[in-house]
Amino acid sequence: MKILLTNDDGVFSKGIEVLFLALSVEHEVTIVAPETEQSAVGHAITWLDPLRVNMVNRNGHFFGYALKGTPADCVKIAISELMDPPPGIVVSGINLGANVGVNVIYSGTVSAATEAAVLGIPSIAVSIDSFKPASFSAATEFILKLVAMVGKEGLPPGVCLNVNIPDLPTDKICGVRVTRQGTLKCLEKYDRRVDPRNHVYYWLTNESVQQDEDPYADSRALALGYISVTPIHHDLTNYPMLKKLREWCF
């Protein structure tokens, strides 16, 4: 298949390199990724500045395109300008750190996949549950299988798959669970600091404080050692409230 590979950790991240090497054995892979890390930018797109695209080499060979923009920018410009014909599937990752619960709405990795879904192309976002993973082998092995399955079965219009993989050896992973987006939240704090010129600045920190108990919620399945696969889409409508709201006397 013709695959667009992107991420939010940047074109020089290890996660995108290992996924490129794995996918390019059987597929035609084009990389369009941010020039620098774009974690937690959500579904932002560049509107007020020009988008600059540069060719990137790794290990002495052409590797892909680096974009001075966001993950969603990468998908949009790849499909409209850099790939002809467009890709049959978009894969975003491998992201460092899980994208589960409420964090999904902040994720640049997931937003690249949802942008592809908006544009009518099946897509997968993949993250590993560590910022210093021991190995990417379980993640690449599973994504190779999942890409083949999506190529065969397809996905409904507007739907993408959010995949989270435990930082475990393949033989230690308990299996695969099809999950819902959970409600895992983080306790966010701003660390107040003072620079050498006596100017105050703040650094955002967070830690998980509310764990889902449902074994079929994304974060809980991941914590139990399962690969979590969640179908998501960009429709944010709350349908029960939609019905109730229509009964209000405006």
Q: Are 160 and 125 in contact (CB under 8 A)?
A: yes
Q: What is the pLDDT of residue 137?
A: 94
**Does a structural domain hold residue 125?**
yes
**Does a structural domain hold residue 7?**
yes
Share of the chain above pLDDT 70, in %: 98
CA–chain centroid gap for 4, Å, is: 13
Q: What is the pLDDT of residue 41?
A: 92
Report how far residue 185's alpha carbon sits from residue 193's, in angstroms, rounded to the nearest whole number. Answer: 25
Q: Are 129 and 247 in contact (CB under 8 A)?
A: no
Q: What is the pLDDT of residue 209?
A: 62
Mean pLDDT of 217-222: 94
Q: What is the pLDDT of residues 89-139, one digit of tens each?
A: 999 999 999 999 988 999 999 999 999 999 999 999 999 999 999 999 999
What pTM did the predictor assign?
0.92
Q: What is the pLDDT of residue 189?
A: 83
Q: How many residues appear in the chain?
A: 250
Q: What is the pLDDT of residues 71-92, one digit of tens each?
A: 999 999 999 999 999 999 999 9
**Does a structural domain hold residue 247?**
no
Other residues' Cβ atoms within 10 Å of the Cβ of residue 10: 16
- End-to-end, the C-alpha distance of the chain in Å comes to 52
**Does a structural domain hold residue 229?**
yes
Mention every residue, 6+ apart, whose C-beta is less than 8 A from residue 247: none
- 211 confidence band (pLDDT: 50, 70, 90): confident
The one-character DSSP state at 53 is E
Q: What is the pLDDT of residue 178?
A: 98
Three-state DSSP state, 64: strand
Q: What is the pLDDT of residue 151?
A: 95
Q: How many domains does the chain have?
A: 1
Mean pLDDT of the chain: 93
Domain residues for 116? 2-182+213-234
Q: Evaluate if residue 187 carries a pLDDT over 90.
A: no
Q: What is the pLDDT of residue 188?
A: 77
Q: Evaluate if residue 208 carries a pLDDT over 80.
A: no
Q: Which tokens in the block code for residue 148?
A: 């083949």
Q: What is the pLDDT of residue 139?
A: 96
Domain at 99, CATH number: 3.40.1210.10
**Does a structural domain hold residue 155?**
yes
**Does a structural domain hold residue 51?**
yes
**Does a structural domain hold residue 197?**
no
**Does a structural domain hold residue 100?**
yes
Q: What is the pLDDT of residues 5-39, one digit of tens each?
A: 999 999 999 999 999 999 999 999 999 999 999 98
